[in-house]
Amino acid sequence: MSTPITETEHRHFPYSAVPGRERLVWPGNARIAVPVFLHFECMDFDAAPATVQDTRWKERRQPDVRLYTWHEYGNRVAIFRVLDLLDRHGLRVTVAANALACERYPFLVKAFLERGYEIAAHGIAANRMISSAMPEDEEHAFIQETLARIHQACGVRPVGWISQDHGESRRTPAHLAQLGIRYVADWPNDDQPYRMPGAGGLVSLPAAGEWDDLKLLWDRRLQAWRFPEMINDALDQLDAEGAGTGRYFALSLHPWLIGAPHRITYLEQTLKALSARRAIWNAAAGDIASHAFPPDQSQIP
């Protein structure tokens, strides 16, 4: 069966059905490429009046002491439980980092870099989203500022971008490509990485909310004991499909949520089962994007 390819209205990338695509081969003939995204977030205590927040928080007012300190709990306490488990199972990690968190918590930045974690840009703060309400020059400046502040705080310039709460405008992919970003992890429309030719060849790493702890445990109120079960069910299916062509699975973790005392045991079960699988290639998101679509050396900033 040949792959149907048609234009879409946004022109970032064409539609492509999975049957008939060229076979995707991961290192070691792994069936699934698996990055772990560790969300490193904090909130502005006094967010600017024009700040756009995720609609989940729309009924809350500033300063939002509860959400502010909930996120801070993640960086004071819960993240160390999560790091212990990631260390125990030897997993490679990509940190989705708010610029403000990198500046506030240098101790944690040092811990990430010592572990060899990849740092990807995740906006400025957890209560600042990109949206179409932003003028184009403001959005470009927002992305540029995020990259510059993370570079300054961490000593590395991110090549990956995960929008805060996956907020984008129609212009976001093009801005990211113009500013030297090589991959974006916002679009949940596939089980394989793909190119965005209409956005400078940016690589999209699918961001399936179905496997995001925040989406499952907070938004949908899934009972925590079901979290490892659902992750394993997804991996079983992708493993079977990966015998034909490689698949992709991203596990997204928010320490303030999954690192809580009553949930951490279920993360341990999840990571134990994940690390025991032979058919996965666990790698940093940037390495996965580069393997799927090797960068043109002449275009690397």
Contact 145, 124 (CB under 8 A): yes
Q: pLDDT at position 57, please?
A: 54
Q: pLDDT at position 94, please?
A: 98
CA-to-CA dists, residue 250 to 31, 35, 193, 276, angstroms:
14, 5, 11, 16
Tell whether omega for the bond before 188 is within 30 degrees of 0, i.e. cis: no
Distance between CA atoms of 38 and 22, rounded to whole angstroms? Answer: 31
Token pair 């992919």: residue: 173
- Of residues 63 and 194, the one with the higher pLDDT is 194
- Of residues 287 and 296, the one with the higher pLDDT is 287
The structural domains of the chain, ordered by start, are 30-299 (3.20.20.370)
pLDDT, one tens digit per residue, over 37-78 is: 999 999 887 666 555 565 555 555 666 667 767 889 999 999
Task: Please give the sequence-ordered ranges of beta strands (E in DSSP) within 59-196, or none if there are none.
Answer: 93-97, 118-121, 160-161, 183-184, 194-196
Distance between CA atoms of 36 and 87, rounded to whole angstroms? Answer: 12
Helix (H, G, I), strand (E, B) or coil at 195: strand
In the chain, % of residues over pLDDT 70: 88
Kindly report each contact of residues 21-25 with a partner whose C-beta sits within 8 Å and lies 24 or more positions away, as own/partner. 21/192, 21/245, 23/244, 23/245, 23/246, 24/192, 24/245, 24/246, 24/247, 24/292, 25/246
Contact 32, 87 (CB under 8 A): no
At position 27, the amino acid (one-letter code) is: P
Q: pLDDT at position 49, please?
A: 53
Q: pLDDT at position 297, please?
A: 44
Distance between CA atoms of 150 and 119, rounded to whole angstroms? Answer: 9
Residue 6 pLDDT > 70, yes or no? no
Average per-residue pLDDT for the chain:
89
pLDDT, one tens digit per residue, over 119-143 is: 999 999 988 888 888 889 889 999 9
The pLDDT confidence band at residue 301, using thresholds 50, 70 and 90, is very low
Residue 284 pLDDT > 50, yes or no? yes
* Ordered strands of the 32-34 beta sheet: 247-248, 32-34, 280-282
- Of residues 194 and 220, the one with the higher pLDDT is 194
